Amino acid sequence: MRITPFQTRTLFVSVFIIAICGLIYELIVGALSSYLWGNSVTHFSITIGLFMSAMGVGAFASKRVKGKLLSAFILVEIGTGIVGGLSAALLYAVFATSDYYYVAMVSLILIIGAFIGMEIPLLTRLVGEHQSLKDASANVLAFDYIGALFASILFPIVLLPQLGLLQTSFAMGLLNLTVVWMNLWVFRDHLKDAWELAGLSVLASIILLSGLLWSGQITSYFERRLYRDKIIYAQQTPYQRIILTRWKDDVRLFLDGNLQFSAQDEYRYHEMLVHPAMTFSRSRESILILGGGDGLVIREVLKYPDVQRITLVDIDPAITKLSRAHPAISALNQNSLDDPRVTLAHQDAYKFLEESSEQFGVIIIDLPDPNNESLGKLYSNSFYTLAQRHLAVGGVMVSQATSPYFARDAYWCIVHTAGSVGWHIVPYHTYVPSFGDWGFFLASQHRLKLDDFEAIVPTRYLTPEIFSAGRFFDSDSDEVETEINTLDSQILMRYYEKGWQQWR
């Protein structure tokens, strides 16, 4: 088949587009798996490895296509578009309704990867009808790599925050099908089976366009299956999926599927987190809060009349915006984020500690559990060394530290890691009904007089007796030997996954 220069350029545009779609399918599967299961390194490693292997299989299989290269290429594109476009919806559905998520994940990766692997050899052979093999290979690969670069920038900056995973998946499927329609038109005189291919393309386009138009309802349906209560707010940000639910008076906030608080019992958690540190510190003028964008920690801190400055560091501005604007949360935090003593810093907590030179009388760490690498670094010895530089003389740091019962090794790993930088550590825990047995620790440069504890502000739950009892651990949650969590080892995340795995 002899092709014209214009048709050759059409094929190069096709290469560019399918490279974008192919990489984004890969990112969607990896991101969705990480969102649903945590441990992003494992899921992205599996996704990339299987994709590359499947691409090799597809490339090998392409040599069996002897004739009708253009028809074969268009048919592969239809298959890639429909399977890739439906991939996020299928994975959501399997996760919400069965225990076969990984079977579905691997199957989709292998199918999409094999299709993508067939595309480049077929296109190279088609371009080779007009150019030498040397030029055809170089030009096809160049457009492929440029398209992949474009996709890697487009996905995290535009697609994920603006469309979310489900809409992005449908949109990429439709983009794949634009390649089909473009080639059907440009090569209409070369295709004897154009009408059959067009019919398949129409069917695939209708399916994907319907999915795109109804993606909000589809997402809501699957999320209703994942959350027992009515969803009253949902948002995908560049950092996480935010879900707010309500059942009667119980409002719950979830980040990437993980419960952050329940209105029914959050006071237990926040009183245990805040008041021991505020009581033991010799200075409460300047307070640093890392995490806690819901404003509930600030609510407790503002009970102390001598607090003059509060700096809250939360990487996601969507959380603080929601906590200010949504009546269900602002009523709970008593509009604490609007207090003139509060300064918000929307940046990574690690980066904030690296760049700031300010010292604080109390540092309160209310970060999500370390279920991925980016959070794991915020529980490393390097992080605690940085925090140490910002703690004023006589000051106290406190941190939530996951559950000593459900994730025993993880809890004590966090405690030992903080202690490894030279702090005096006081581990303690309490029962929070929505969380279960939950752990914390105090850290200071001096030994605290623990028997002198008595909250000096009103509390609903915390008493000297409860704090005293919280410093003792049962035999099934008592201290165990662990490694220190470092930026290099990230051993904490493995402890965390191992601990929680048996309870999922």
The residues assigned a catalytic role are 366
User: What is the rounded distance in angstroms from the CA atom of residue 281 to the CA atom of residue 106?
Assistant: 52
- C-alpha torsion sign, points 25, 31, 35, 37: positive
Question: Which residues, including other chains, have CB under 8 Å from residue 24's CB and lie 6 or more apart?
Answer: 151, 154, 155, 159, 168, 172
The answer to whether 111 and 86 have CB atoms below 8 angstroms apart is no
Write down the H helix ranges in 155-192. Answer: 160-186
**Residue indicated by tokens 């970060």:** 367
Long-range Cβ pairs for the range 487-493 (8 Å, 24+)? 487/377, 487/380, 487/382, 490/373, 490/376, 490/377, 490/380, 491/413, 492/370, 492/376, 492/379, 492/380, 492/410, 492/413, 492/414, 492/417, 493/39, 493/370, 493/371, 493/372, 493/373, 493/376
User: What is the rounded distance in angstroms from the CA atom of residue 284 to the CA atom of residue 286?
Assistant: 6
8-state DSSP, 445: S
Output the six-digit token pair for 504: 């999922």
How many residues are recorded in the chain? Answer: 504
| 3-class state of residue 77 by DSSP | helix
User: What is the rounded distance in angstroms from the CA atom of residue 473 to the CA atom of residue 427?
Assistant: 9
Output the six-digit token pair for 413: 């790993």
